[in-house]
Each structure stands twice: as C-alpha cells, then as structure tokens.
C-alpha cells in the first residue's frame, strides 16, 4: 500500500480531498461532482479553515451542476492550448490523417484568438465579446476579412468551445452560436485553354535554361505537379504532395476504335502495366488508354482523384528519373504498396517554395496576372481551368465532377462554372422540347376563344 502523504486529507470518502503542494503552504482541494474530479484552491493556509472552505466549494459546485452552470471556470488561453495540442498530436500521427487545415487553425489560435480572448474566462465569452473581436480583427488585418476567413476563425473558435464543453468548463447550451459574416470571396483567377497551352509549352525550355542542378530538379518537379493538377483537378498542396506510390492504382485499356496489336496467331497481345508487350515493345498504331486512380487525402478527407494519360506519363517519368539503374517500375512501386512519396526530386527532396517558384515562372512568361480580372494567378487557378474546361468542352456531368474534385455541386457552380453560350449551345438545342413547345397545329377546344365560340353558335 502506498505511503499516505501527511499533507493530504480525505474529508469525504471518494468525494472531497484537501491537500498541499510541496511548493506552497496554501491548501488545495479536489472535489468530485457527477463522476468528474475538479481541482480548486481554498486560498486558506490554516487547515481547519481550508476544510470548511472546501466543503463550501463542493456544495457550490453541486448547486452549479444542478443549475446547468459550469462547475469551474478556465481562461480561454488554457483551453485553446489544449485544442491546439490535440491538433498538433493528430498532425504528428500519420495514422490520424489530420486535415491540412489544422495548420491554419493553429495559426489562427496563435495570431488572433489567444491574443484577444486569452485572459478572458471561457464561460464569459458572450456575443458582446465576439462583436468586439470582429472589430479588433478587422483592425489587425487592415481590412474586412473575407467570408472564407471568418468561417475558418469560427471553425477554430468552435474547436476551442467544444474542448471547453468536453472538460466541463462550459455547457453545450451556453456555447456561443457563431455567425459567419464577411466579404464574399471572388472566383479564382483562371487560365483559358490558350494560356494553359502556353504554361505547359514553356516548361521544357525553362527547365533546360538553368545550370544549377538543385534548381533544375525543382523545376522538373514543378512541371510534373502542374501537369497532374491539370489532368486531375486535384487540390494543390497536401492531396498531391503527400501522395505515396501505395496510394496509386493504374489500368491500361485498348480503345475499340484503333488497330489492336496481335500475335502471329491473331490473338490480341495484352499490354503490361507499363504499356509494353511481353517483348518490351509497343505498337505505335495501337492506342492505349491509361486510368490512374489516386487515393488522396485533403480538405474533404479520403477520396479518389482520377488521372489519365498525362498523369500516367508523369508518373513513369518520375520513376525513370528518381530510380535509375534499378529494376523498379511504376507497376512494381504501386503494386508493392511502396510508402515512398511520389513528388520528390531526383535527390529525394521535397518541393521547395513551390508557390514562389510558380509565381516566377508565370511572371517570366507574362502569365501571372489574369487580364480579365486583374488578379494574380495561383495553383488553384489550374484547378479552376480544369473544372471549367471539362464542363465547357465535354459536358462532364456536374455530379461526376463533384466526386472528382471533392466539392459539393453548389461550390462547383459558384466557383468553377463559367459556361459560355458557345459551350452549351448543343446541350440546350433540345429539339424535342422545342418541337413540343412550338406545336400550334393542335389547340384543345377548352383553350379556344370564348367570343368565337359564341359567334359560331
């Protein structure tokens, strides 16, 4: 049996304990209410007074519980620290697959929430305090925050409030209801098809135009990244940069409208995963269509992003470049569930300052600013170009595009649907509908002129 500490006294069995810390002569108490233990200070140095004070604290806590009032209060900064640590722990644990947005929430806690709310009691944050925060935040930012920014702040605040509810510092019913206000965001600057062609067409010479090996490798990787973004519409950032070979599955199919390669007996030769026959040869007259299914994890957690020939070719280039003089192939890497990351340089380095590198590339080729909106283009502009183009040129159903992009139909319509009259003309021709609408040959008697009917009688 452990030795009893002389400065610990059990006042009520399994309900109330009075004790002293080694570094203080003030008595503390631990009290149990509704199966939960809470710690409070008695603020007394005399043991008898501390015991009486502890009993009053237990009685008050029981009354607060019955009145649905938090038993103890805590400063906002303490609860925010717990909420932040939980997100950091999940980010550090690869099995948790924490969303990349946690990094933004942590920054919001550090830069905005804690500086403003830090010294306030968590149960004292009311609508008036939230209004004051909105005014302070606008001054700190130097402008009215966008709707999306306010939404992120509210999500972060809710995580802190949820942690306070979990710990018993506020009740669910007293948790503030946050309203998302702010300036509505505008559409991303996009690229038209001609500009996309220029983006892709200038890359090879730009890559060759540097003698620095490290810069060359980063440019090669940027080219890979841009092509896959355009082929899949994937979200820039975590979805592709955290992709591992084990997350990829490839399929090769022969198109029905082209000449198939056959052997001497007239049998169709099955192509390998690499698009080659058993002898390692390919037939230029045969069209092999590739489908690449990538299990990505990002803003909307797990989903499948589909890539096609462009993505397949990029992956083959990465394998050839990063694993020379080995027997490794795309087929072997993917089927062996290899855990190495896909988007790495020849030197196995992660992308470095990709956003700035992309800015410099676009600026060098007069593509950085969207001439229609005057806004700067970013990686998301590639996602926008992909979505708009597949809707305009191939009439991809918005439901299917929603699955591909990991966005709701409403978000796609709001941000990416830039349908032109030319793009929709054939779909809205609707000959059957027009024939029905303009059929004046047969008008039901009930709808004929009442005056004419009277005259005819």
Predicted confidence (pLDDT) per residue in 183-210, tens digit: 555 566 889 899 999 999 999 999 999 9
Q: Sheet of 288-298: strands edge to edge?
A: 248-254, 288-298, 301-307
Q: Say how many CA atoms lie within 13 Å of 41 toward its Cβ.
A: 8
User: What number of CA atoms fall less than 13 Å from residue 371's CA on the CB side?
Assistant: 4
- Cut 0.75: pTM above it: no
Q: What are phi and psi of 137, to 5 degrees?
A: -65, -40
Location of structure tokens 């999500």: 155
Between residues 380 and 419, which one has the greater pLDDT? 380
pLDDT of res. 128: 82
pLDDT class for 76, splitting at 50, 70, 90?
Answer: very high
Long-range contacts, 42-50 (Cβ 8 Å, 24+):
42/18, 47/9, 47/18, 50/18
Rounded CA-CA distance 17/10 in Å is 4
Phi, psi of 359 (to 5 degrees): -55, -50
* pLDDT reading at 304 higher than 60: yes
Q: What is the pLDDT of residue 338?
A: 92
Q: Tell me what pLDDT residue 252 has.
A: 79
CA distance 184 to 147: 5
For residues 65-76, give the mean pLDDT. Answer: 71
| Chain-centroid distance, C-alpha 269 | 43
**Confidence at 50, pLDDT banded by 50, 70, 90:** very high
Confidence of residue 259 (pLDDT cuts 50, 70, 90): very low
**Cβ proximity of 308 and 290 under 8 Å:** yes
Phi, psi of 407 (to 5 degrees): -120, 155
Residue-level pLDDT at 258 = 46
Percent of the chain with pLDDT over 90: 37
Phi, psi values for residue 9, rounded to 5°? -130, 130
Nearest to 315 by CA among 251, 362, 360, 388: 251
Kindly compute the dihedral angle of the four CA atoms of residues 44, 47, 51, 56, in this order, to the nearest 10 degrees: -20
Q: What is the pLDDT of residues 15-40, one digit of tens each?
A: 999 999 878 889 999 999 888 888 88
The reported pLDDT for the residue numbered 94 is 81
Q: What is the pLDDT of residue 155?
A: 93
pLDDT at position 97 is: 78
Containing 155, the helix (H) or strand (E) segment is helix 147-167
Query: What does the pLDDT read at residue 226?
Result: 95
């Amino acid at each position: 049996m452990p030795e009893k500490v002389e400065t610990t006294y059990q006042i009520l069995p399994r309900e109330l304990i009075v004790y002293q810390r080694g570094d203080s002569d003030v008595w503390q108490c631990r009290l149990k209410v509704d199966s939960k233990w809470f710690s409070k200070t008695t603020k007394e140095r005399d043991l008898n007074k501390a015991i009486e004070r502890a009993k009053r604290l237990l009685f008050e806590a029981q009354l607060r519980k019955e009145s649905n009032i938090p038993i103890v209060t805590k400063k906002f900064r303490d609860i925010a620290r717990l909420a932040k640590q939980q997100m950091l722990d999940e980010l550090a644990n690869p099995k948790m697959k924490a969303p990349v947005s946690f990094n933004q929430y942590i920054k919001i806690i550090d830069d905005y929430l804690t500086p403003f709310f830090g010294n306030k009691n968590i149960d004292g944050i009311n609508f008036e305090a939230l209004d004051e925060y909105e005014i302070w935040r606008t001054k700190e930012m130097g402008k009215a925050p966008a709707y999306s920014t306010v939404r992120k702040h509210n999500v972060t605040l809710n995580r802190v409030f949820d942690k306070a509810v979990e710990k018993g510092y506020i009740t669910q019913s007293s948790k503030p209801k946050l309203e998302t206000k702010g300036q509505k965001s505008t559409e991303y600057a996009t690229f038209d098809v001609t500009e996309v062609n220029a983006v892709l067409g200038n890359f090879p010479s730009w890559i060759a135009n540097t003698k620095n090996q490290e810069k060359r490798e980063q440019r090669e990787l940027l080219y890979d990244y841009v092509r896959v973004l355009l082929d899949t519409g994937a979200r820039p950032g975590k979805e592709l940069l955290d992709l591992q070979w084990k997350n990829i599955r490839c399929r090769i199919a022969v198109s029905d409208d082209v000449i198939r390669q056959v052997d001497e007996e007239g049998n169709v030769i099955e192509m390998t995963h690499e698009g080659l026959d058993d002898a390692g040869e390919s037939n230029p007259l045969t069209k092999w269509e590739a489908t690449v299914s990538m299990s990505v994890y990002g803003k909307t957690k797990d989903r499948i992003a589909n890539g096609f020939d462009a993505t397949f070719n990029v992956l083959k280039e990465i394998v050839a470049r990063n694993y020379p003089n080995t027997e490794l192939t795309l087929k072997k890497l993917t089927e062996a569930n290899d855990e190495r990351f896909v988007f790495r340089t020849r030197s196995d380095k992660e992308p470095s300052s990709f956003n700035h590198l992309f800015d410099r590339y676009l600026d060098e080729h007069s593509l950085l600013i969207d001439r229609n909106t005057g806004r700067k283009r970013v990686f998301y502009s590639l996602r926008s170009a992909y979505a708009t183009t597949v809707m305009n040129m191939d009439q991809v159903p918005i439901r299917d595009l929603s699955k591909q992009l990991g966005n709701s139909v409403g978000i796609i319509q709001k941000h990416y649907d830039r349908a032109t009259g030319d793009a929709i003309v054939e779909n809205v021709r609707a000959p059957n509908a027009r024939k029905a609408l303009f059929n004046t040959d047969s008008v039901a008697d009930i709808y004929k002129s009442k005056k004419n009917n009277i005259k005819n009688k």
